[in-house]
Amino acid sequence: MENLNKCLVCGHTNFTKEITCTDFVATGHNFDLCRCDNCSFLFTNPRPDANHIGPYYQSDRYISHAGDKKGFSFIYRIYDVVRNYSIKQKIKHIKTYHDGGKFMDLGCGLGYFLDGVVKDGAFDAIGVDISEDAVNYVKKTFGYNVKLESELDSMQPKSFDVITQWHVLEHVHLINERMQQLKLLLKNTGTLFIAVPNSESWDAKFYGPFWDGYDVPRHLYHFNQASFALLMQKHGFKIVETRSMPFDAPYISMRSEVHKKNNFVFIRGAISGLISTIKAKKAMNHSSLLYVVKHAD
């Protein structure tokens, strides 16, 4: 295990243990979430280091790495139904900032969003992922240009108009180094689209240690709006827009109900997701948030 001795956002060395969560997906192991006493950043600590995190992703219940949906639960089938609509909406919103250009989907997973971008035709798009299995799957299934994350440092600086990360940044061990890579690769006029769970959402507070958005230890960081803004500011970025991810609240709530081993998870999750969405409107504290980010310079 890797034990952080300073906050990765502000460098402060005093933390307070806030909650203990269980890995409901792969191992059943427990992990502590600590909050920085200075900037309030919440993170998993201690955590598996980058060389030992792999086994925590090796489960058919981990949806991001599940290519074969045969035998999956009703929740995963819902995930598939809404995915195509969500992809179209994401691309539509991105095109309000850029009508074309060079595009990177960083953390492309199984390639469904990348496939949507390529088929839309507006962008010259590539995918990047940390997993060789995912890279090979996308190449085999779609035939697209996909690279490993280890190739990021060899890419041409200031070459991308758009870089997307859909529920990726919370998984990245070297988060400050990743932000510096993004700053180097993004054109001065370019835009980042970064979606992460929001640990200040109503459903996060309602489900507590059962909240699926914590997803320990795969999720290393548990952002709220303040800590995300501090991380962006630290690396010379500014948030120009914050949007909800409308399908995340019911989906995360349903999975949280599964973790609690409740009955009627679809109904319970749908109700909780609706309540969370209603409660979120005033302060934009939705279950997941999409941050649109540009260079501050």
Q: What residue spans define the domains of the chain?
A: 15-295
Angle at 90 between CA 23 and CA 176, to 5 degrees: 55
Quick one: tokens of 107? 């953390």
Contacts for 3 with CB less than 8 Å, ≥ 6 apart: 45, 46
Contacts for 69 with CB less than 8 Å, ≥ 6 apart: 76, 77, 80
What is the β-pairing status of strands 160-166 and 186-197? parallel
Query: How many angstroms separate the Cα of 214 from the Cα of each of 31, 96, 182, 277?
Result: 10, 31, 24, 18
What is the predicted pLDDT for the residue at 266? 85
Angle at 207 between CA 204 and CA 208, to 5 degrees: 75
pLDDT in tens, the chain (297 residues): 999 999 999 999 999 999 999 999 999 999 999 999 999 999 999 999 999 998 998 865 544 544 444 444 555 666 677 888 899 999 999 999 999 999 999 999 999 999 999 999 999 999 999 999 999 999 999 999 899 999 999 999 999 999 999 999 999 999 999 999 999 999 999 999 999 999 999 999 999 999 999 999 999 999 999 999 999 999 999 999 999 998 899 989 999 999 999 998 889 999 999 999 898 887 889 999 999 999 997
- Which has the closest alpha carbon to 203: 248, 247, 249, 167? 249
Q: How many residues are there in the chain?
A: 297
Task: With beta carbons less than 8 A apart as the criterion, state whether 15 and 45 touch.
Answer: yes
Contacts for 224 with CB less than 8 Å, ≥ 6 apart: 40, 42, 198, 199, 200, 285
Q: Find how far residue 23's CA is from the centre of its chain.
A: 17
What is the predicted pLDDT for the residue at 75? 57
Three-state DSSP state, 217: coil
Domain range 15-295, its CATH number among 3.40.720.10, 3.40.50.150, 1.10.3210.10, 3.90.1150.10: 3.40.50.150
Question: Model pTM?
Answer: 0.92
State the amino acid at position 11 in one-letter form: G
What does the pLDDT look like over 252-288, one tens digit per residue?
999 999 999 999 888 999 999 999 989 888 788 999 9
- Which has the closest alpha carbon to 77: 66, 88, 93? 66
Angle at 171 between CA 130 and CA 284, to 5 degrees: 130
Name the strands in the sheet holding 30-36, side by side, starting at the edge strand that comes first in the sequence: 15-22, 30-36, 42-44
